[in-house]
Amino acid sequence: MKSTTKVATEIYFSFQIRTSRPNQNGESPIVFRIIYRGQRKDVFTGLSCPSKDWLKEERTVSRRNPAASSINHQLHKILANAEYHFNRLKFLGEEFTLDDLVNEMKGKIAPPQTLQEYVEIKEREIVKRTGLDIATTTWYKYKRTLNYLRDFIRFQHGNRTIPVSKIDVDFINGFYQYLRREKQNSHNSCSALMCSLKAILLPAVKNRCIRENPFDAYIMKREQRERGYLDLSEIKALENLEGLTESQSLKRDAFLFACYTGLPYSDIKKLNRSHILRDNDDTFYIKISRTKTHVECIIPLLPKAASILVKYSPSNDIRDFAWEIPCNQKFNEGLKTLGKLAGIEKKLFVHLARHTFATTVTLSNGVSLESVAKMLGHSSIKHTQLYAKVVASKVKGEMLRVMRVFD
């Protein structure tokens, strides 16, 4: 074993024995000596041998010692570990001291130093927390961000490891441009992805591995756009569809149920008997905690929503309903076909039903903003006000047409 090593002319590693400080067995402790930039440090290895068995030139234990093979193997591992951590710190490009290196070798420096490490850590965290305090939809959002980030690293930097300390506003801007140009994401989609990236990098900022948070100088502002929804005639067109397959009927009915309850995909999928309660006047309502926000929703069941559940109940009791909701992707694919069959020009997707409930079903019929917010499970009424703006815009447009008639 090569026990004395000189790395890049800056650092020296070697093994020594302390003959002046024998242990209780009379053996000399073996220390790992590091000399870096004029400083010297001896690190105890926890190993020892009789001084007569120490080979000064080779700086290893003589083969005549029965434990020589085991001790020398451990010394080799210590040396390899030191060289690895020294080269790693050098690669990261930050100034470091001899104490920093020793702490790194001992595992006392916990914070990861590369972007790839933070990506992997976040991925493990999300997988572990999904279903506990993180919704499946949040997992999908992070998964999408992590996949895009890996693609961007390969696209822009090849397979090189990126020190997290090098992440700056230019990197953030580059990632945004990549999402827009190469991945064809909208500005608002990019903003959502950038929020996920900000969360991924937050531990690095807290650990001061990133000295200046690049997001402090990066403005993420979503573009306000009118939320789509179905009007009453389009809802009727879906209801009146005939000759559907069993699979198509399920997708159509589940979508209409969402239109009449405002439930998002994740909550429709988990809906069961325990969420449907009977009121004192023998009407039914849904009481469910939002998967995404954990905010409790209370939604009185409209007759049309109740009739859909009865259709899937073997006992005609709406609480006995049973259906197998397909995955989000297959659900949306089926809705595209249903939209064409119904002659609806708008693009149908699951979440459009939630927008329809907020606008066509409730706000357009005089339900208060506060009640709609409660039924939608919004944590802030600000989210609900976006739908109110849509309704106000619709009213204004209709009245402008009236004004032209009576001009």
Dump pLDDT digits (tens) for 249-294: 999 999 999 999 999 998 999 999 999 999 888 889 999 988 777 8
Lowest mean per-residue pLDDT among 27-36, 302-311, 389-398: 389-398
Distance from C-alpha of 177 to C-alpha of 152, rounded to nearest angstrom: 10
Lowest mean per-residue pLDDT among 176-190, 215-229, 299-313: 215-229
Distance from C-alpha of 387 to C-alpha of 359, rounded to nearest angstrom: 6
**Per-residue three-class SS string for 220-247:** CCCCCCCCCCCCHHHHHHHHCCCCCCHH
Tokens of 282: 């023998």
Distance from C-alpha of 49 to C-alpha of 25, rounded to nearest angstrom: 9
Classify residue 295 as exposed, middle or buried by CB count within 10 Å of its CB (0-12, 13-18, 19+): middle
Question: Cβ(37)–Cβ(69) under 8 Å?
Answer: no
Closest by CA to 307, choosing from 253, 354, 255, 243, is 253
Amino acid at 71: I
Instruction: For residue 205, name the pLDDT band (cuts at 50, 70, 90).
Output: confident
Tell me which of 3.40.50.2300, 1.10.150.120, 1.10.443.10, 1.10.1270.20 is the CATH number of domain 232-405. 1.10.443.10
User: Could you tell me the residue ranges of all domains in the chain?
Assistant: 5-105, 115-217, 232-405
Tokens of 168: 């700056």
In this predicted structure, what is the pLDDT of residue 2? 45
Tokens of 8: 């890049």
Q: In this structure, how many other beta carbons lie within 10 angstroms of the beta carbon of residue 26?
A: 9
**115-217 has CATH 3.30.2350.10 classification:** no
Distance from C-alpha of 363 to C-alpha of 231, rounded to nearest angstrom: 12
Identify the helix (H) or strand (E) that includes residue 397.
Answer: helix 381-405
In this predicted structure, what is the pLDDT of residue 397? 59
Name which residue leads in pLDDT, 396 or 180.
180
- Across all residues in the chain, what is the average pLDDT? 85
Contacts of 174 (CB under 8 A, 6+ apart): 152, 156
Instruction: For residue 109, name the pLDDT band (cuts at 50, 70, 90).
Output: very low
Distance from C-alpha of 51 to C-alpha of 19, rounded to nearest angstrom: 7
In this predicted structure, what is the pLDDT of residue 142? 87
Dump pLDDT digits (tens) for 319-334: 999 999 998 889 999 9
3-class state of residue 365 by DSSP: helix
Dump pLDDT digits (tens) for 341-362: 999 999 899 999 999 998 889 8
User: How much of the chain is in helix, strand and coil states, percent to nearest 5?
Assistant: 55, 15, 35
In degrees rounded to 5, what are phi and psi of residue 355?
Answer: -65, -40
3-class state of residue 90 by DSSP: helix
| 162 HSE (CA, 13 A, CB side) | 20
Distance from C-alpha of 347 to C-alpha of 322, rounded to nearest angstrom: 28
Question: Cβ(352)–Cβ(229) under 8 Å?
Answer: yes
Distance from C-alpha of 137 to C-alpha of 43, rounded to nearest angstrom: 49
Characterize the bridge pairing of strands 284-289 and 276-278: antiparallel
Closest by CA to 309, choosing from 284, 337, 333, is 284
Residue 357 has what DSSP assignment?
Answer: I
Predicted model pTM? 0.55
Tokens of 262: 């405002």
The terminus-to-terminus CA distance of the chain in angstroms comes to 99
Instruction: For residue 49, name the pLDDT band (cuts at 50, 70, 90).
Output: very high
In this predicted structure, what is the pLDDT of residue 276? 94
**Alpha-carbon Rg of the chain, whole angstroms?**
32
Question: Cβ(340)–Cβ(259) under 8 Å?
Answer: no
